[in-house]
């Protein structure tokens, strides 16, 4: 009796649940009809279930928005939003509804949120297509009266146009969200510029950050290598009706999306079907030289030299006092004025990576190079010309009528630009080239005849150079740094006022300063009581002056006056990472995407130090307080006072002088004085785990007493990795990404150096979800013993953690 009653109740409940599901999702098709509103708890699903449209709340926000997201291609626990309807007008509750009116207009809670069809439709339907486009059309027509593709938000999808409809004046541009929890338009935007030769521009407010360069038939000239091996098709249309860029993945085995991110990047992602993951493969700007007008007018950016900015031959820095401070935005001036009246000017050929900025240019089609040269000489405003194959215009000639900017070198430069110079400067360049050619023959004779003397001379000079490091620093001969006046720094810091103090380290105090021209700087003043200050000072000058990377802090200059030794850096408005992680008021502003962005940046900076720079540098003091954050929260590794240079054949060094910060030191270094690149990897692993958890690497009261590494290890082994995540992050995170980062962090802090990955592997693992991850082994320094075992500990066992920075400690 009981059994039959239970069965009947079960059947009744099942039927009720089924009816509720049918009622709840009765509109879960791809089409919305008039007078059939889409409620907050419902969704449209495209025909092949690729995209979904419905209501959502980003991150921890309580606001509700109507958006489109990938229905199946989702990181665990997250929606990949590609379009937002009411990004400027959020709803405050869950009682919203999307409705198609009988005249063909869409409303959210009876409010029209975007421009709708001008002509009333008689039998309208709204449909979500499998390419992510939400369209309105007549029921029996394939023509769209309105489409979401005409109103992009932060994402460019396959088949979506970026650019202009010249017939209607419609400008389709892509704009970043204001924040990860606010999809309203932010300050970053990608758009097509119609002035000059049309190209794509990336903006931060009214400031241009990057440009694509003209279209050259297969891609934009300044866009870098595209993943053509995946079968992508890129199109650029430029005619009297439209100017737009579009890519198409139809017929390929993967999905691509381009995202304008609120961190100030244009990011490309692909979802490859056979792997089932998003892959982040490219950012714009790609590097420092891709940043718009990095070296100013007539300046050339070249990552293969230092400093990376140089003036073209025949030009000099416009503001000589600013160039040594790495402020090259003012560019270069001519050595000799042009003489258009007497037509004595000529041209210097410069081979670069792509055409300079084409905003103020004249494009002539189907003329020869000689004709182009003649037209430039006859035009007194002409500063340069080039032959170019511009798609849509054919082979022709480009003439610049203003200063030329955004010149960039690459390992394989392909574009010739002919820069107009005065006759005197051309003659000077010609003489130098002739003398250089003649001197080569003389040098060869001397080298072959004096080879026996040169070898010991090289040895002697190398020894002498080490002895003369103070002379190099004072003389400013090798590093091309600005030697600033004491009076300038006194004025900039208001006589080193206490109110200007930014922080304190082992080197001394750091002050905020402001130069007369308005540039903000950070001034590190060597403490007179610092026993290690001289070594740190020389290290900073020796290393940072030779290094150039977006994730390293930039040294601008120095000052030596008596006992005073001062280093001047670029100012980082957001200070160090330390308070953002461990101060709960600041930590509340550090969401997961920003934390992951910081982790990736530190990894790339460390890879540059270990492998990609002209030196091989071991930092030895990588910690949260030595990671500085710029205005856009980009991380920059700082404080190279304890760094060491590795020779090409060196793999590890043993020292009796252990320096650094407990809590970040690798076991082999803290206990035995042995350090290597793997020592930095250990420190980086500690940093990852601190960034994820928002906790310092110190003792947690448990049995045994665990450090942060031990806590992470225990939770990982128990399958509770997400419990390690800082609760301030809330629910706005990718579970897969968090677990991957914990895994990588634990791999980096393994006890044995040989078990830890190198930084190139770390960067690949962070940036590519397809990269396989090993299971980590037990970390070093995961726990201390209970007090009854303390007496048995070796006297060199590590107890004190990252509250202390060592200045000298003898390793056993």
Q: Could you state, in order of their start, the residue ranges of all structural domains in the chain?
A: 27-151, 154-286, 290-430, 471-570, 579-638+651-806
Could you tell me which residue, 158 or 476, shows the higher pLDDT?
158
Per the annotation, where are the binding residues for ATP? 524
Residue 487 backbone dihedrals phi, psi, to 5 degrees: -65, -35
Of the candidates 810, 808, 787, the one whose C-alpha atom is nearest the C-alpha of residue 799 is 787
Could you tell me which residue, 28 or 711, shows the higher pLDDT?
711
Average pLDDT in the 196-215 region?
Answer: 89
pLDDT level of residue 587 (50, 70, 90 thresholds): low
pLDDT level of residue 448 (50, 70, 90 thresholds): very low
Work out the mean pLDDT of the chain and round it to a whole number. Answer: 79
Lowest mean pLDDT among 415-419, 605-609, 675-679, 798-802: 798-802
SS3 543: helix
Helix axes 708-717, 735-748, angle to 10 degrees: 120
Token pair belonging to 763: 């960067």
pLDDT of residue 811: 32
Task: Give the CATH superfamily of 471-570.
Answer: Phosphorylase Kinase; domain 1 (3.30.200.20)
**CA gap 597, 603 in Å, rounded:** 10
pLDDT level of residue 454 (50, 70, 90 thresholds): very low
Per-residue pLDDT tens digits for 608-653: 888 877 677 888 889 998 999 988 889 999 887 787 877 655 556 6
Into which CATH architecture does domain 154-286 fall?
Orthogonal Prism (2.90)
pLDDT level of residue 583 (50, 70, 90 thresholds): confident
Token pair belonging to 316: 């000099």
Query: Which H or E run includes 717?
Result: helix 708-717
Residue 333 backbone dihedrals phi, psi, to 5 degrees: -115, 155
SS3 371: helix
Average pLDDT in the 353-358 region?
Answer: 87
- Choosing from 30, 621, 639, 680, which is the catalytic residue? 621
Token pair belonging to 388: 């170019």
Per-residue pLDDT tens digits for 80-89: 899 999 999 9
pLDDT of residue 730: 78
SS3 428: helix
Q: Determine contact, residues 262/162, Cβ cutoff 8 Å.
A: no
Share of the chain above pLDDT 90, in %: 34
Q: Taking the CB of residue 79, how many other CB atoms lie within 10 A of it?
A: 17
When computed from its CA atoms, the radius of gyration of the chain, rounded to whole angstroms, is 31
Lowest mean pLDDT among 133-137, 288-292, 800-804: 800-804
Helix axes 735-748, 759-767, angle to 10 degrees: 170
Could you tell me which residue, 474 or 583, shows the higher pLDDT?
583
Average pLDDT in the 418-446 region?
Answer: 68
pLDDT level of residue 11 (50, 70, 90 thresholds): low
Q: Determine contact, residues 178/262, Cβ cutoff 8 Å.
A: yes
Q: Determine contact, residues 404/387, Cβ cutoff 8 Å.
A: no
SS3 135: strand
Give the start-end residues of each E strand in 478-590. 482-483, 501-504, 508-514, 520-526, 555-561, 564-570
Q: Taking the CB of residue 723, how many other CB atoms lie within 10 A of it?
A: 13
Q: Determine contact, residues 128/33, Cβ cutoff 8 Å.
A: no
Average pLDDT in the 365-393 region?
Answer: 84
pLDDT value at 250 more than 60: yes
Could you tell me which residue, 72 or 275, shows the higher pLDDT?
72
Query: Which H or E run includes 74?
Result: none
Q: Positive or negative CA dihedral for 105, 106, 111, 117?
A: negative
Per CATH, 27-151 and 154-286 having the same topology is answered yes
**CA gap 580, 630 in Å, rounded:** 13
The answer to whether 621 is a known catalytic residue is: yes
Per the annotation, where are the binding residues? 524
pLDDT of residue 275: 56
**CA gap 146, 104 in Å, rounded:** 9
Into which CATH architecture does domain 579-638+651-806 fall?
Orthogonal Bundle (1.10)
Q: Taking the CB of residue 12, how many other CB atoms lie within 10 A of it?
A: 10
Lowest mean pLDDT among 123-137, 230-244, 461-475, 524-538: 461-475
Q: Determine contact, residues 215/392, Cβ cutoff 8 Å.
A: yes
User: Any idea which residue has 């930084």 for tokens?
Assistant: 759
- DSSP symbols for 261-328: ETTTEEEEEEEETTTTEEEEEEEES-SGGGSTTTT-TTEEE-TTSSSSEEEPTTEEESSTTTGGGT--
Lowest mean pLDDT among 24-38, 320-334, 343-357: 24-38
pLDDT level of residue 394 (50, 70, 90 thresholds): low
Residues in the chain: 812
Q: Which long-range contacts (C-beta less than 8 Å, at least 24 apart) are formed by 34-40? A: 34/99, 34/100, 34/101, 34/102, 34/124, 35/99, 35/102, 36/99, 36/100, 37/97, 37/98, 37/99, 38/97, 38/98, 38/99, 39/96, 39/97, 40/64, 40/94, 40/95, 40/96, 40/97
Q: Determine contact, residues 34/27, Cβ cutoff 8 Å.
A: no
**CA gap 462, 681 in Å, rounded:** 31
pLDDT of residue 33: 93
Q: Determine contact, residues 293/358, Cβ cutoff 8 Å.
A: no
Q: Using alpha carbons only, give the angle 692, 695, 699 rounded to the nearest 5 degrees.
A: 130
pLDDT of residue 447: 44
pLDDT level of residue 230 (50, 70, 90 thresholds): low
pLDDT of residue 431: 66
Find residue 175's DSSP bridge partners.
189
Token pair belonging to 94: 């869950």
pLDDT value at 426 more than 70: yes
pLDDT level of residue 444 (50, 70, 90 thresholds): very low
Into which CATH architecture does domain 27-151 fall?
Orthogonal Prism (2.90)
pLDDT of residue 657: 64
Token pair belonging to 207: 């400031």
Lowest mean pLDDT among 4-8, 320-324, 495-499: 4-8
Could you tell me which residue, 245 or 6, shows the higher pLDDT?
245
pLDDT of residue 800: 31
pLDDT of residue 812: 32
CB neighbours of 225 closer than 8 A, spacing ≥ 6? none
**CA gap 431, 551 in Å, rounded:** 41
Q: 767-803 in b/e burial notation, b at 16+ Cβ within 10 A?
A: eebeeeeeebebbbbbbbeeeeeeeeeeeeebeebbe
pLDDT value at 186 more than 70: yes
**CA gap 360, 399 in Å, rounded:** 9
- DSSP symbols for 566-578: EEEEE--TT-BHH
pLDDT of residue 549: 84
**CA gap 311, 332 in Å, rounded:** 6
Average pLDDT in the 347-370 region?
Answer: 87
Average pLDDT in the 325-334 region?
Answer: 86
pLDDT level of residue 390 (50, 70, 90 thresholds): low
């Amino acid at each position: 009796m009981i059994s039959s009653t239970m069965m009947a109740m079960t059947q009744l409940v099942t039927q009720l649940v089924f009816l509720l599901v049918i009622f709840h999702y009765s509109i879960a098709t791809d089409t919305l009809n008039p007078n059939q509103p889409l409620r907050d708890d419902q969704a449209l699903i495209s025909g092949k279930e690729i995209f979904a449209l419905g209501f959502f709340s980003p991150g921890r926000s309580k606001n509700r928005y109507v958006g489109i997201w990938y229905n199946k291609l989702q990181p665990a626990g997250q929606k990949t939003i590609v379009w937002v309807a009411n990004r400027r007008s959020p709803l405050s509750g869950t009682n919203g509804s999307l409705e198609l009116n009988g005249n063909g207009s869409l409303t959210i809670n009876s409010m029209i949120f975007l421009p709708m069809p001008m002509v009333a439709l008689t039998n309208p339907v709204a449909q979500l297509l499998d390419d992510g486009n939400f369209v309105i059309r007549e029921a029996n027509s394939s023509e769209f009266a309105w489409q979401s593709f005409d109103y992009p938000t932060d994402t460019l999808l396959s088949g979506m146009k970026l650019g202009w409809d010249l017939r209607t004046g419609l400008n389709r541009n892509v704009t970043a969200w204001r924040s990860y929890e606010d999809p309203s338009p932010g300050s970053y935007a990608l758009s097509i510029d119609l002035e000059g030769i049309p190209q794509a521009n990336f903006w931060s407010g009214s400031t241009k950050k990057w440009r694509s360069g003209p279209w050259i038939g297969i891609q934009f000239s300044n866009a870098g290598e595209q993943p053509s091996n995946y079968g992508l098709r890129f199109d650029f249309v430029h005619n009297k009706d439209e100017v737009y860029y579009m890519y198409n993945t139809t017929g390929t085995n993967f999905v691509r999306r381009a995202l304008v991110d609120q961190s100030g990047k244009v990011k490309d992602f692909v979802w490859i079907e056979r792997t089932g993951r998003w892959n982040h493969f490219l950012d714009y700007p790609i590097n420092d030289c891709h940043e718009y007008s990095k070296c100013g007018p007539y300046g050339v950016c070249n990552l293969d030299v230092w400093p990376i900015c140089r003036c073209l031959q025949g030009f000099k820095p416009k503001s000589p006092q600013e160039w040594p401070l790495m402020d090259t935005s003012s560019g270069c001036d001519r050595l000799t004025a042009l003489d258009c009246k007497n037509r004595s000017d000529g041209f210097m050929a410069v081979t670069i990576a792509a055409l300079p900025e084409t905003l103020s240019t004249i494009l002539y089609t189907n003329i020869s190079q000689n004709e182009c040269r003649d037209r430039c000489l006859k035009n007194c405003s002409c500063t340069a010309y080039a032959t170019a194959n511009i798609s849509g215009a054919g082979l022709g000639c480009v003439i610049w009528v203003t200063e030329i900017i955004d010149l960039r070198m690459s390992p394989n430069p392909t574009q010739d630009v002919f820069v107009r110079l005065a006759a005197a400067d051309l003659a000077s360049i010609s003489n130098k080239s002739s003398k250089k050619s003649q001197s080569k023959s003389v040098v060869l004779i001397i080298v072959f005849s004096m080879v026996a003397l040169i070898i010991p001379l090289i040895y002697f000079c190398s020894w002498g150079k080490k002895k003369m490091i103070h002379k190099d620093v004072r003389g400013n001969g090798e590093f091309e740094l600005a030697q600033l006046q004491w009076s300038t720094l006194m004025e900039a810091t208001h006589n080193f006022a206490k109110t200007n103090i930014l922080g304190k380290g082992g080197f001394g105090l750091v002050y905020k300063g402001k130069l007369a021209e308005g540039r903000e700087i950070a001034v590190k003043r060597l403490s007179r009581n610092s026993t290690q200050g001289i070594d740190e000072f020389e290290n900073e000058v020796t290393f940072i002056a030779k290094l150039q990377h977006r994730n390293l802090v930039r040294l601008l200059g120095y000052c030596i006056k008596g006992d005073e030794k001062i280093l001047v850096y670029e100012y980082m408005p957001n200070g160090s990472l330390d308070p953002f992680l461990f101060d709960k008021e600041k930590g509340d502003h550090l969401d997961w995407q920003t934390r992951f962005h910081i982790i990736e940046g530190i990894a790339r900076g460390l890879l540059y130090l270990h492998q990609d720079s002209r030196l091989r540098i071991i930092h030895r003091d990588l910690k949260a307080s030595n990671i500085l954050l710029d205005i856009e929260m980009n991380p920059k590794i700082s404080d190279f006072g304890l760094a060491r240079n590795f020779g090409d054949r060196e793999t590890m060094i043993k020292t009796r002088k252990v320096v650094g910060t407990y809590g970040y030191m690798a076991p082999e270094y803290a206990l035995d004085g042995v350090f290597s690149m793997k020592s930095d990897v250990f420190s980086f692993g500690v940093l990852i785990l601190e960034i994820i958890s928002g906790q310092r690497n110190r003792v947690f009261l448990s049995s045994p007493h665990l450090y942060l590494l031990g806590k992470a290890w225990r939770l990982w082994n128990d399958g509770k990795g997400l419990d390690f995540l800082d609760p301030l992050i809330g629910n706005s995170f990718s579970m897969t990404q968090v677990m991957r980062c914990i895994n990588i962090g634990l791999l980096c802090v393994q006890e044995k150096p040989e078990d830890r990955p190198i930084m190139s592997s770390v960067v690949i693992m962070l940036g590519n979800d397809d990269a396989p991850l090993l299971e980590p082994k037990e970390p070093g320094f995961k726990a201390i013993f209970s007090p009854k075992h303390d007496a048995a500990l070796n006297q060199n066992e590590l107890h004190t953690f990252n509250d202390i920075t060592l200045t000298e400690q003898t390793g056993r």
